[in-house]
């Protein structure tokens, strides 16, 4: 239980620090289309957005929205940890929160992979195929893991209900 409390504290700390960043990102993604970015050197997820073209602004906005998806996944993971600490493991909220977290992380990983691919083509004018472990694939795998956990918890909940009905 101590490890769970440490995890909950770390996730809560991340959540507290991410709330002001969310407000900044929302303001930045709206202001991007009205402010000249020519003098700014903006770097998000190891991608430099230093052009003032429409595609650069769109990629930066989509990257900001992608960050918001990860923050939303963190919110649902906090809900799961809250139920785990109260020892309410097989609640329907836990199963749906795992599913929402998994969907958000998988979508975020796919979006970040597409952004990375598009920015390499647009900004660096090169197409390269790299094999190995990168952050985009890890996020996709983490999302699929949470979706798998959702299914496992659904099966476990049904099994628990059947065992409770058995005399």
pLDDT for the residue numbered 40: 65
The two three-digit tokens of residue 41, written as one number: 């050197």
Q: What is the total count of domains within the chain?
A: 1
Q: Are 107 and 69 in contact (CB under 8 A)?
A: yes
Determine the pLDDT at residue 167: 63
Mean pLDDT, contiguous 10-residue spans, the chain (167 residues): 91 93 82 68 62 75 88 95 92 95 96 86 74 85 96 93 81
Angle at 124 between CA 117 and CA 128, to 5 degrees: 50
The pLDDT assigned to 12 comes to 93
CA–CA separation, 109 and 162 (whole Å):
37
Helices (H), the chain: 2-31, 54-85, 92-123, 135-165
Q: Which domain holds residue 61?
A: 2-165
Residues 6+ apart with CB under 8 A from 43: 49
Tokens of 123: 């900004």
User: How much is the pLDDT for 14?
Assistant: 94
Residue 44 vs residues 5, 79, 102, 115: alpha-carbon distances, Å = 31, 28, 23, 11
pLDDT score at 55: 77
Q: What local confidence, expressed as pLDDT, does residue 96 receive?
A: 96
Q: From 77, 78, 68, select the one nearest 150 (Cα to Cα).
A: 77
């Amino acid at each position: 239980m101590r490890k769970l409390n440490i995890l909950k504290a770390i996730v809560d700390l991340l959540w507290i620090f991410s709330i002001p960043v969310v407000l900044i990102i929302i303001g930045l993604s709206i202001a991007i289309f009205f402010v000249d970015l020519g003098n700014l050197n903006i770097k998000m997820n190891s991608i430099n957005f230093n052009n003032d073209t429409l595609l650069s602004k769109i990629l930066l906005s989509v990257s900001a929205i992608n960050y918001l998806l990860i923050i939303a996944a963190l919110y649902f993971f906090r809900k799961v940890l809250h139920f785990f600490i109260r020892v309410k493991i097989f609640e329907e909220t836990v199963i749906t929160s795992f599913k929402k977290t998994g969907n958000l992380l998988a979508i975020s990983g796919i979006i970040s992979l597409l952004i990375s691919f598009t920015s390499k083509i647009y900004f660096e004018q090169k197409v390269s195929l790299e094999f190995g472990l990168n952050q985009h694939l890890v996020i996709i795998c983490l999302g699929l893991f949470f979706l798998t956990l959702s299914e496992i918890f659904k099966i476990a909940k049904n099994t628990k209900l059947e065992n409770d009905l058995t005399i």
